[in-house]
Structure 1
């Protein structure tokens, strides 16, 4: 088995993800191409300086605007909001693969007596009136609702009846998210927005084992390199050490992934066989590794496995949004700063949307980072691009 250096591993990951070298992803088509490559990007409703999915795309898609993601989701319908790695955004063409999710929802999601009647009522209302939110669907009261889904475990809650009915129909695949206003979701019939070919296609995976292998391969493609170790990059998969080992062995035997060792790390890593040419270019020193700076989203695929980031980059990052203020080391919504093949620091940037001013509240450089003209020029350009991304015309360093 081949052994590579940690620097080569870092360069391979960043090149695969489009975070180093000349931009591989540009504009709306580039945003779609990146989501297809990653398989899924995580959605989070918090919007301090852009929502997580938007931040993920702005860091690697040249000229990205927030409207591009909105259009891909709710006009072009090339992407859908649905569960995968938590609530995610992924290509509509992958809809058939998740039929087992929807089958499970239909079988196990109806523990409330009378839910079927309410679902019929909801569908008839949407057919007649169009997209609805939980506030506009005329179903009143509360129900004690149970869910048992692969991605959320088993839980029970008492919730607004309209919301529960919509969520059930959504996980069943009867409804899709039509659009969002802030964090509020509006639902419509899936048949109005996804083609019949997609909705009625057979699942390409005939067994749960095939589905797991497909998903593991997908996550490796998102990360670039993943190790044979418990990893948060596999979050949302029904997987343990034994299943992970079996999936990796199967994919290796099928020639879909290639194992590699990284110096100083005992666990083997794996990358997709389709990326063999990129790996060779990294090892031969012929890959495009032109440095550029990016602000990375907290739930970016690059940051899915923080233990891996620590092992390869010696960079420790914690998203402190849920940490009590008095215990935070940095701040509420702080983004890792990547320059070239290194994490050089972290930054807190907040747009004042009333005044159109982007406030750079704090920058924390790593201890061994030198303040060079090249670094400061890259920072200035990246902040300007970030201000434009957030519709800000001015920048203020606090």
Structure 2
């Protein structure tokens, strides 16, 4: 693409939702001089109770990025799904984009077909294993119908994980593997704190408190290290149970959520990072953003050996599955500061070379 091109973005979440690829990519492209139009998902009746519409992270948009709010009188239903698909397709007539990038797995089918008919490049950016994340009837519709349609009819497919890439490559030769990256604002805050070093034995886990992680194992492991403090930060359905579970354990504290601008210091204070992921299909097939947070802070990481973490980290991560393996890995990092620092530097090198939005933006520009 050349000149002042216009790109239409169709995300599944509100612009002020938790900062992710849905928001960071259009922001980065806007800073490159592209005119970017971000279509907020249609706010249907009752959507104020849906997490993806929440303004969790109010943010300033760069020049060249336009946020479009939309609403509907319909309630969440199959009819509303069809109506939003139609509205997204009609957006082509209103905004006349030169290209479309969509991360919405449900609301892009009609838009994809309309782009193909008009000769407008449509890129489906696959950032999650949606058929496992979305267990609703609509999620099954994606699995059995929409996924294949988008795979065959999109101009290009971009995938954040190897498993998704392997699937879509069979459907579309213009499929590309583009892993996720660290949030730019977090990276900037981490760099501003480059001189901060841990002043006590502390590990900070920051993430969604959901069943993606084996918190029971995490708590059991850190109970073995009474002089090593584990702080669990985040929100999610497991929060009440985790607070109850950890209340009587002196070195483990469950704090709840924190503002995004406070996470950098917690990451810097952490002796190392830890990812106690469940060994399930979802974790095997998704790109772990929390890994990049630890790497951005130059922290060594201990993780369950899920496929995507192993592909990204290789020998620069310590892997553990059982309680005894996690305990041995922690002892190894506690006893060997040189190893701990070297692994942290290796992770940070991966951030600087690949897992940042300057790199991701260049990849998308080449596809466009």
Structure having the higher Rg: 1
Q: TM-score, normalised by structure 2?
A: 0.31
Structure with more helix by fraction: 2
Structure with more strand by fraction: 1
Compare relative contact order (CA 8 Å, sep 6+) and give the higher one, 1 or 2.
1
Q: TM-score, normalised by structure 1?
A: 0.29
